[in-house]
Structures are given as structure tokens and as C-alpha cells.
Structure 1
């Protein structure tokens, strides 16, 4: 092997070593996080350690300011809602996000202004599927045809989720989704809801919504389920 080929081999080998080092660094930084509870996160010394904390979102604890979502979580299954961990997430939450949803938060524990908080880099939300019979539920057309006579009256509404309208409860000022009449898609009602949506609810899903029509024309929901 001549000297030119040797130099070329050394250069190629060097490039391979650098690439491998970068790959290993990326894999190492995104490796498995330590799974802990909210209680552990608040009581253990885990500063700057990558952790995964699962908890239920405290009702009405969330807000979005300058694109950063903040909320509090507590341990599910008998956990103390008063023992809560503050979470900040610089990203868009999925449409399932809302009061009571199970939030799986991966990131690092830091000392915030109000105490320990989790700076979240990955957020996954989960809510078990829930089904409701459409018996006695009004169609969108029927509800609209009642007019003002049905305002503030608790009813069940059935219809399908209009494509492209699903939002997170954290997106304040926006309806959670729009429901359209299954037989006439031109008839629709915006639905306000701040609870957790089941994973199975997406564009075109048939839903049964419990709540009441407000004077503004929006439907204020207290419960949303898939039609079953």
C-alpha cells in the first residue's frame, strides 16, 4: 500500500470515528429516562437527570403563554392532588390534552421560581376510550331548530367531529372542536370543552356530547364520548 492510499485510509477512518461518536452521543442523550412518580420527583434529588413522570393534569391548572404550555400534575390512583408537580412544555399539546388527562412527561427537574418543576421535552397524553349511547340525543339540526327555547337546557347532542377542527384545551379562546350533523354537514355547532378527550376521538368520529347550548351559539360540554 503506497503512502497516498494510507493517508486516504486514515482520513476515511477518522471520518467514520467522528460519525460514530456523534451517533453514540445522540443515542445516549435520548436514551431511556428514569421513570418516577410525582412524589419521587418532588422529594428526590434528581436535578438535571432525565426522568419520565406520569400524572393526571390538575383541573384548570394549564395556560399557554408565548407558546409555552404550563400545567400541574399529580399522582393518579389515589395520589394526593395537593402534591403536584409544575410542568412546562415548549410545544403543542395533542387534542386529547385537558383536565384530568394522564400526561406522560419526559424531561429534566429544575429549580423554578415557585419550587421544583419539570422542563418537559416530550409530552404524551392518554385517556381511555369512553362510549355513550346516542339514545335520546338530539341531532345538530334538531338542536339548532329549537332555537332560543333550548338555551341553557342540559341535553345530549350527537354528530360527527368536523375535520380539522380538533384543538387542545390549552388553546384558549378556540372551540375544542366543531360537530356537524351526520345527515347534513352544513349544519354545525362549535363545542367548548376543557376536559380530556379519549384517544379514539379524531376527525369524522361519531360523538355524543352532553351539555347545553349557550346564548353565544356555542355548545358548552360537560362530557364527550364516542357513540357506541
Structure 2
């Protein structure tokens, strides 16, 4: 009988303890969820006064040449390319963190952070994405051939093909974006590019790029695609 009473008390205590644990977990999850959740809004909505000091997530295309990089701080503007092609509404974004090599003009930026009273989004999380582009390398010059032509093709639009050199991908503010290597001769050329790069572009990727040779024998690219 005593054992039955003790078992009954133990069961009640365990039930009460389980209930307390469940309540604590619910409260913790509610706090964490409230702290991490962000409302998805458009660029136009974010540009209003509605979301000051609120956590939001905004997706948009980077306005060409709108970015500045000072140390570890990146500032840029985004707009809704699909619904606002003339960029009548733009949003200024400030991000403290490493700049990805995929970041550039017209890249899609998914920005999560809080708005301040100056309507600047202080971004805590930045995700960039750029659709992969493919192009046929027919009629494209090799790096070796381009360098042999030299001044003959300087400042003239040409197509160039080669492989991305290992460890050469750089952020958009670097002196060059990547180095292109001729797989046959191993000759190299520095490529400058301010546009968005697909995340699929890595060391060894064969590219077809459009641009022109400079007097310094660098290549100013206006378009970068992977070999199709």
C-alpha cells in the first residue's frame, strides 16, 4: 500500500515536472522565434516609415555602381527590377561583413535586418544570387591569342575564353575580379568586372567573356558567362 502511495506521488511529481518543462520550452521557442523572424516586404514598402526599428527581409537587384566599400562595411542600394524597372523606389542597405565574390551590379540581394530612422536597412544577413548564364565559345579568342594580338585589338570589343585560375576570385572592389588562364599555354590575364557573378563560377570553370583589352593588358569585361 505504501509503495502504491509513493508511486502515485512520484507520478504526480513527474507529470508536474513534465508540464513545467513543456511550458519553459514554449516560452523559449516563442522568444527565439520572435527574435529571429523577419517580415518579408517589398522595396517600396521598406522605403516607407512603417518599418522603422522593425526586423524585415527585402529582396532586390543592386543598383549599378551604387555600392561603396569602406573596410568591412558595404553600402549599396537595391530596387525591385520586376515591378519597378525604372527604380523609382530604392532602398539603401548597410552591411558589416565580408563581401562575397558574387556581389556586383544587378546581383539579386536578399537582405535581412532592421530599418533606422534614416530609412537605411542595417543588414545582419546578406544572401546574393545570380542566375547562371551559358554561352558558346565559338569565335572566342584564347588568352594566348588575345595577348599576341596586343594593341591591334586594344579597346575593341572581343570575346575571350579561358579557365578561372585557382584562388583568383576577388570581391567587386578589388583591382581585378579574377584571373583567366589559357589551358593550353598557361598564359594568364587579369579580368576586371563590376557585374554579378554566378555562385557556380569557381576555380577551373571555363568562361566566355565579352569586353576589351586595356593598354595595361588587363581585360575589361562587360559580360561573363560559363561555357555552354
- TM-score in terms of structure 1 length: 0.84
Q: Where does structure 1 differ by over 6 angstroms across 4 or more consecutive aligned residues?
A: 19-24
Unmatched tracts of structure 1, length 5 or more: 1-15
The aligned counterpart of 1:72 is 77
C-alpha separation in 2, matches of 1:175 and 1:97: 14
Instruction: Answer whether contact 1:62 1:70 (CA < 8 A) is retained.
Output: yes
Q: Which residue of 1 aligns with 2:148?
A: 145
Q: Which residue of structure 1 aligns with residue 125 of structure 2?
A: 122
Contact 1:166 1:176 in 2 (8 A): yes
Report the aligned-residue RMSD.
2.2
**DSSP 3-state at the match of 2:121:** strand
SS at match of 1:43: coil
Q: Deviations over 1:40-59 (max 9, x none)?
A: 00125112211100011111
- Please give the alpha-carbon distance, in whole angstroms, between the structure 2 residues aligned to 1:54 and 1:213: 35
Alpha-carbon offset, residue 159 of structure 1: 0.3
| Structure 1 residues 55-94: aligned runs within 5 Å | 55-79=60-84, 80-94=86-100
**SS state of the match for residue 158, structure 2?**
strand
- Report the structure number with the largest CA radius of gyration: 2
The answer for the alignment partner of 2:44 in structure 1 is 39
Q: 8 Å contact 1:93–1:123 — kept in the other structure? A: no
Count, aligned residues: 209
C-alpha separation between the residues in 2 aligned to 1:206 and 1:85? 35
| 1:203 aligned residue | 203
Shift of 1:68: 0.5
Moved more, 158-167 or 43-52: 43-52
Structure 1, 53-62 or 175-184: larger mean CA deviation: 175-184
Q: Give the aligned partner of residue 220 of structure 2.
A: 220
CA contact 1:95–1:168 (8 Å) conserved in 2: yes
Q: Secondary structure of 1:111's partner?
A: coil
Runs of at least 5 residues in structure 2 that lack an aligned partner in the other structure: 1-20
- Structure-1 separation of matches of 2:39 and 2:83: 22
CA distance in 2, matches of 1:135, 1:159: 12
1:99 equivalent in alignment to 2:105: yes
C-alpha displacement at 1:22, in angstroms? Answer: 7.3
Q: Tell me the alpha carbon deviations over residues 5-54 of structure 1, each in whole angstroms, 9 at most, x when there is no partner.
A: xxxxxxxxxxx99x9687875554223x1100000001251122111000
- 2:193: which partner in 1? 193
